[in-house]
Amino acid sequence: MTFSNQLFFVLFLLLPLLRASHPKDCSSSSCGLQDVHARFPFWLDPNQPDFCGHPGFDLHCTISQNTALNLPKSGTFLVREIDYRSQHIRLYDPEACLARKLLTFDVSGSPFSALYLAKYTFLTCPNEVVKSSGFDSIPCLGNSTSSFLATTSLDIAKSMLPSCQIVKTLDVPVSRPVVTEKSRFSTYVNNQDLWLKWDSPSCSNCERNHLRCGFISNASLQVKCFPFEKSGTNYSSYNTINCNK
């Protein structure tokens, strides 16, 4: 094999690694001009190739051009905001009934976890009981005969028995620590956004140093920091930064 053929063969083997190490084809993408910007570890399907993001971080655009994230066991949520430096994602329910999804919410099977947890008790009560008491109910869960209520106080929930029935007590992901409310019941659990976090991959250090995060190679899920590509940039003049520091 001649030297030129050997060189070609070596470059052929290295090309995928070079592409993964310098992800110039993975610029930020979005569904609309004012929408959420997707960049590593997220990737927007089909606007970006899958090597632009980490497994489990795939986003897609809805018909109305909103950014959406599908959680394997909890369905589809719309993305309000992504905080890349803090590694938080803010979601909301496209059907404006977050409480319904929270009743069966399960984040397992995804790379995300709750930012904070608050224990809520959900009850169902006859409409006449709710109307006469003036309690705040969750309208999207009610029907012609009964209303849904939610409270962070199990004692208050038990005090409603036997007129009402406890549906479920569960840990609900919330955006900040919750103190037991002074009011008996609240619709806050339905009206809030859902904040989740991710711990891996860790790209916070890249964000703090105004660098971009990406895979070390296409054969590894390890990540490191890269400079943003500019015209005439010589990558050999940069030292990469370990994202996990």
85-92: average pLDDT = 95
For the segment 237-242, the average pLDDT, to the nearest whole number, is: 39
Beta bridge partners of 213: 225
Gap between the Cα atoms of 34 and 116, Å rounded: 28
The residue that leads in pLDDT, 231 or 89, is: 89
* Residue 161 and residue 205 in one domain: no
Which residue range is the domain that position 146 belongs to? Answer: 118-187
Whether pLDDT at 217 is above 90: no
d(CA 132, CA 164): 14
Domain annotation covers residue 47:
yes
> What's the pLDDT tens digit per position in 64-82?
999 999 999 999 999 999 9
Counted domains in the chain: 2
DSSP 50: G
Domain co-membership, 10 together with 83: yes
Same domain, 58 and 178: no
Are the C-beta atoms of 160 and 121 separated by less than 8 Å?
no
pLDDT of residue 181: 55
* Burial of residue 205 (number of CB atoms within 10 Å: 0-12, 13-18, 19+): middle
For residues 44 and 30, is the Cβ–Cβ distance under 8 A? Answer: yes
- What's the CATH code of the domain at 161? 3.30.70
Residue whose C-alpha is closest to residue 123's, from 179, 173, 171, 161: 161
172 with 203, same domain: the answer is: no
Q: Rounded to whole angstroms, how far apart are CA atoms 239 and 222?
A: 17
Residue in this structure with the two tokens 């490191």, named with its chain if needed: 224
* Residue 204 and residue 180 share a domain: no
Residues 66, 22 share a domain:
yes
* Alpha-carbon span 124 to 20, nearest angstrom: 53
Q: Is 200 helix (H, G, I), strand (E, B) or coil?
A: coil
Residues 164, 124, single domain; the answer is yes
Together in a domain, 227 and 181: no
- Distance CA(126)–CA(146), nearest Å, equals 4
Q: How confident is the model at residue 132 (pLDDT cuts 50, 70, 90)?
A: confident
**What pLDDT is stored for residue 180 in this prediction?**
60
